[in-house]
Amino acid sequence: MTTLSSPNTPKDSNPDFDVLGDQHVGTSIDTPLRDDAFDLSDDAKIEAIEGKFRDIMEIMGLDLTDDSLSGTPHRVAKMYVKEIFAGLNPENHPNVKTFDNIYGYDHMLVERNINLNSTCEHHFLPIVGVAHVAYIPEGRVVGLSKLNRIVDYYAKRPQVQERLSRQVLTALQNTLGTPNVAVVMDAKHLCVSSRGIQDEGSSTVTASYGGLFESSPEVRAEFLQHIDG
Protein backbone atom coordinates (compact mmCIF):
# COMPACT_ATOMS: atom_id res chain seq x y z
CA MET A 1 0.00 0.00 0.00
CA THR A 2 1.29 3.45 -0.88
CA THR A 3 2.10 5.69 2.09
CA LEU A 4 1.37 9.34 1.47
CA SER A 5 3.75 11.93 2.82
CA SER A 6 2.80 15.06 4.71
CA PRO A 7 1.78 18.04 2.55
CA ASN A 8 4.73 19.90 4.07
CA THR A 9 7.25 17.29 2.94
CA PRO A 10 9.68 18.73 0.35
CA LYS A 11 8.87 17.36 -3.08
CA ASP A 12 12.35 15.90 -3.60
CA SER A 13 11.86 13.62 -0.56
CA ASN A 14 8.30 12.60 -1.48
CA PRO A 15 8.30 9.79 -4.05
CA ASP A 16 4.53 10.09 -4.43
CA PHE A 17 4.58 13.79 -5.30
CA ASP A 18 4.41 13.36 -9.08
CA VAL A 19 2.71 9.97 -8.99
CA LEU A 20 -0.42 11.35 -7.33
CA GLY A 21 -0.67 14.16 -9.85
CA ASP A 22 0.13 12.23 -13.00
CA GLN A 23 -2.16 9.35 -12.04
CA HIS A 24 -4.89 11.76 -10.86
CA VAL A 25 -5.26 9.91 -7.58
CA GLY A 26 -7.40 11.36 -4.81
CA THR A 27 -6.67 10.86 -1.12
CA SER A 28 -10.05 11.43 0.55
CA ILE A 29 -13.81 11.58 -0.04
CA ASP A 30 -14.06 14.96 1.70
CA THR A 31 -12.32 17.99 0.27
CA PRO A 32 -9.07 18.32 2.27
CA LEU A 33 -9.42 21.49 4.34
CA ARG A 34 -7.52 22.74 7.38
CA ASP A 35 -9.39 23.61 10.58
CA ASP A 36 -8.53 27.28 10.09
CA ALA A 37 -9.69 27.37 6.46
CA PHE A 38 -12.21 30.14 7.10
CA ASP A 39 -10.41 32.25 9.70
CA LEU A 40 -9.62 34.83 7.02
CA SER A 41 -12.38 36.84 5.37
CA ASP A 42 -12.82 36.66 1.61
CA ASP A 43 -11.33 40.14 1.25
CA ALA A 44 -8.28 39.16 3.30
CA LYS A 45 -7.82 36.02 1.18
CA ILE A 46 -8.04 38.06 -2.01
CA GLU A 47 -5.41 40.48 -0.75
CA ALA A 48 -3.06 37.67 0.29
CA ILE A 49 -3.48 35.67 -2.92
CA GLU A 50 -2.96 38.81 -5.00
CA GLY A 51 0.47 39.30 -3.45
CA LYS A 52 1.42 35.64 -3.88
CA PHE A 53 0.32 35.54 -7.50
CA ARG A 54 2.19 38.75 -8.22
CA ASP A 55 5.30 36.99 -6.92
CA ILE A 56 4.67 34.04 -9.26
CA MET A 57 4.31 36.31 -12.28
CA GLU A 58 7.46 38.24 -11.38
CA ILE A 59 9.44 35.02 -10.90
CA MET A 60 8.38 33.98 -14.42
CA GLY A 61 9.82 37.25 -15.70
CA LEU A 62 6.58 39.00 -16.66
CA ASP A 63 6.51 42.79 -16.70
CA LEU A 64 3.74 43.81 -14.32
CA THR A 65 4.06 47.46 -15.31
CA ASP A 66 2.41 46.51 -18.61
CA ASP A 67 -1.23 47.68 -18.70
CA SER A 68 -2.44 44.21 -19.73
CA LEU A 69 -0.70 42.46 -16.81
CA SER A 70 -0.82 45.00 -14.01
CA GLY A 71 -4.29 44.01 -12.83
CA THR A 72 -3.88 40.26 -13.33
CA PRO A 73 -2.85 39.38 -9.74
CA HIS A 74 -6.00 41.00 -8.36
CA ARG A 75 -8.22 39.49 -11.05
CA VAL A 76 -6.87 36.00 -10.40
CA ALA A 77 -7.21 36.37 -6.62
CA LYS A 78 -10.80 37.57 -6.89
CA MET A 79 -11.61 34.79 -9.36
CA TYR A 80 -10.19 32.14 -7.02
CA VAL A 81 -12.10 33.28 -3.95
CA LYS A 82 -15.37 34.57 -5.42
CA GLU A 83 -15.83 32.35 -8.45
CA ILE A 84 -14.02 29.13 -9.34
CA PHE A 85 -13.29 28.09 -5.73
CA ALA A 86 -16.37 29.62 -4.10
CA GLY A 87 -17.63 26.12 -3.31
CA LEU A 88 -14.98 25.75 -0.59
CA ASN A 89 -16.91 28.11 1.65
CA PRO A 90 -19.99 26.51 3.27
CA GLU A 91 -21.61 29.95 3.40
CA ASN A 92 -22.01 29.67 -0.38
CA HIS A 93 -23.94 26.41 -0.20
CA PRO A 94 -27.16 26.85 -2.20
CA ASN A 95 -30.37 27.24 -0.23
CA VAL A 96 -32.16 24.08 -1.30
CA LYS A 97 -35.79 23.90 -0.20
CA THR A 98 -37.70 20.68 -0.64
CA PHE A 99 -41.44 20.34 -1.12
CA ASP A 100 -44.10 17.75 -0.40
CA ASN A 101 -44.60 15.44 -3.35
CA ILE A 102 -48.23 16.51 -3.72
CA TYR A 103 -48.58 14.94 -7.18
CA GLY A 104 -47.55 11.55 -5.87
CA TYR A 105 -44.84 11.33 -8.51
CA ASP A 106 -42.93 8.14 -7.79
CA HIS A 107 -40.98 7.60 -11.01
CA MET A 108 -37.45 8.56 -11.92
CA LEU A 109 -36.69 12.24 -12.42
CA VAL A 110 -33.62 12.91 -14.56
CA GLU A 111 -31.77 16.18 -15.12
CA ARG A 112 -29.39 15.70 -18.06
CA ASN A 113 -26.45 17.68 -19.38
CA ILE A 114 -25.87 19.94 -16.39
CA ASN A 115 -22.90 22.17 -17.17
CA LEU A 116 -19.86 21.05 -15.21
CA ASN A 117 -16.93 23.41 -14.69
CA SER A 118 -14.41 22.43 -12.06
CA THR A 119 -10.66 22.49 -11.41
CA CYS A 120 -8.24 19.58 -11.11
CA GLU A 121 -6.62 19.75 -7.68
CA HIS A 122 -3.36 18.28 -8.97
CA HIS A 123 -2.49 20.93 -11.55
CA PHE A 124 -5.17 23.62 -11.06
CA LEU A 125 -6.33 23.22 -14.65
CA PRO A 126 -9.99 23.13 -15.77
CA ILE A 127 -12.30 20.13 -15.80
CA VAL A 128 -15.11 20.76 -18.29
CA GLY A 129 -18.06 18.54 -19.10
CA VAL A 130 -21.58 17.58 -18.10
CA ALA A 131 -23.30 15.93 -15.16
CA HIS A 132 -26.44 13.78 -15.30
CA VAL A 133 -28.43 13.50 -12.07
CA ALA A 134 -31.50 11.43 -11.23
CA TYR A 135 -33.57 10.59 -8.17
CA ILE A 136 -36.71 8.67 -7.27
CA PRO A 137 -38.79 10.68 -4.77
CA GLU A 138 -39.73 9.38 -1.35
CA GLY A 139 -42.14 12.04 -0.13
CA ARG A 140 -40.02 15.12 -0.93
CA VAL A 141 -39.07 16.77 -4.20
CA VAL A 142 -36.82 19.69 -5.10
CA GLY A 143 -36.90 22.45 -7.70
CA LEU A 144 -35.08 21.40 -10.86
CA SER A 145 -32.59 24.27 -10.81
CA LYS A 146 -31.43 23.20 -7.34
CA LEU A 147 -29.94 20.04 -8.85
CA ASN A 148 -27.80 22.25 -11.09
CA ARG A 149 -26.85 24.46 -8.17
CA ILE A 150 -25.68 21.55 -6.03
CA VAL A 151 -23.50 20.26 -8.87
CA ASP A 152 -22.09 23.76 -9.38
CA TYR A 153 -21.37 24.26 -5.67
CA TYR A 154 -19.29 21.11 -5.28
CA ALA A 155 -17.63 21.65 -8.66
CA LYS A 156 -16.32 25.04 -7.50
CA ARG A 157 -13.45 23.48 -5.59
CA PRO A 158 -10.11 21.94 -6.41
CA GLN A 159 -11.45 18.50 -7.27
CA VAL A 160 -10.96 14.91 -8.28
CA GLN A 161 -13.85 13.79 -10.46
CA GLU A 162 -14.50 10.62 -8.47
CA ARG A 163 -14.83 12.69 -5.28
CA LEU A 164 -17.03 15.27 -6.99
CA SER A 165 -19.47 12.58 -8.16
CA ARG A 166 -19.66 11.15 -4.65
CA GLN A 167 -20.09 14.53 -2.97
CA VAL A 168 -23.02 15.44 -5.24
CA LEU A 169 -24.62 12.03 -4.65
CA THR A 170 -24.34 12.32 -0.86
CA ALA A 171 -25.58 15.93 -0.81
CA LEU A 172 -28.67 15.03 -2.83
CA GLN A 173 -29.39 11.96 -0.71
CA ASN A 174 -29.25 14.08 2.45
CA THR A 175 -31.34 16.87 0.94
CA LEU A 176 -34.05 14.65 -0.53
CA GLY A 177 -34.16 12.14 2.30
CA THR A 178 -33.79 9.18 -0.05
CA PRO A 179 -30.91 6.89 -1.04
CA ASN A 180 -32.35 6.63 -4.56
CA VAL A 181 -29.97 9.01 -6.33
CA ALA A 182 -27.68 8.56 -9.33
CA VAL A 183 -24.88 10.81 -10.62
CA VAL A 184 -22.91 10.34 -13.83
CA MET A 185 -20.28 12.83 -14.98
CA ASP A 186 -18.50 13.00 -18.33
CA ALA A 187 -15.70 15.55 -18.47
CA LYS A 188 -12.49 16.53 -20.20
CA HIS A 189 -9.47 17.30 -18.04
CA LEU A 190 -7.09 19.93 -19.36
CA CYS A 191 -4.34 18.38 -17.24
CA VAL A 192 -4.66 15.41 -19.61
CA SER A 193 -5.20 17.31 -22.86
CA SER A 194 -2.82 20.27 -22.44
CA ARG A 195 0.09 18.67 -20.56
CA GLY A 196 1.50 15.24 -19.81
CA ILE A 197 0.09 12.78 -22.35
CA GLN A 198 -1.64 15.67 -24.22
CA ASP A 199 -4.58 13.52 -25.28
CA GLU A 200 -7.15 15.83 -26.83
CA GLY A 201 -9.80 13.21 -27.55
CA SER A 202 -10.41 11.43 -24.25
CA SER A 203 -12.92 12.19 -21.55
CA THR A 204 -13.47 10.76 -18.09
CA VAL A 205 -16.76 9.19 -16.99
CA THR A 206 -17.56 8.60 -13.32
CA ALA A 207 -20.74 7.11 -11.84
CA SER A 208 -22.10 7.06 -8.30
CA TYR A 209 -25.28 5.14 -7.53
CA GLY A 210 -27.37 4.86 -4.40
CA GLY A 211 -30.45 2.94 -3.35
CA LEU A 212 -32.43 1.42 -6.23
CA PHE A 213 -29.94 2.75 -8.77
CA GLU A 214 -27.30 0.57 -7.16
CA SER A 215 -29.38 -2.50 -6.27
CA SER A 216 -31.64 -2.76 -9.31
CA PRO A 217 -30.06 -3.37 -12.75
CA GLU A 218 -33.38 -2.44 -14.35
CA VAL A 219 -33.55 0.97 -12.65
CA ARG A 220 -29.92 1.68 -13.48
CA ALA A 221 -30.46 0.64 -17.12
CA GLU A 222 -33.46 2.97 -17.40
CA PHE A 223 -31.38 5.87 -16.09
CA LEU A 224 -28.54 5.16 -18.50
CA GLN A 225 -31.02 4.93 -21.37
CA HIS A 226 -32.40 8.35 -20.45
CA ILE A 227 -29.00 10.04 -20.42
CA ASP A 228 -27.93 8.36 -23.66
CA GLY A 229 -31.05 9.52 -25.49
Residues annotated as catalytic (active site), given as ranges? 120-123, 161, 189, 191
Q: Is 189 helix (H, G, I), strand (E, B) or coil?
A: strand
Helices marked H in the chain: 17-23, 42-59, 67-70, 72-79, 144-155, 161-176, 190-193, 212-215, 217-228
Among 192, 102, 191, 117, smallest CA distance to 148 is for: 117
Decide if 119 contacts 125 (C-beta within 8 A).
Answer: yes
Among 116, 88, 120, 87, smallest CA distance to 20 is for: 120
The DSSP element (H or E) to which 119 belongs, if any, is strand 109-120
Spatial separation of the C-alpha atoms in residues 177 and 197, rounded to whole Å? 42
Residue 133, φ and ψ in degrees, nearest 5? -130, 140
Decide if 144 contacts 111 (C-beta within 8 A).
Answer: yes
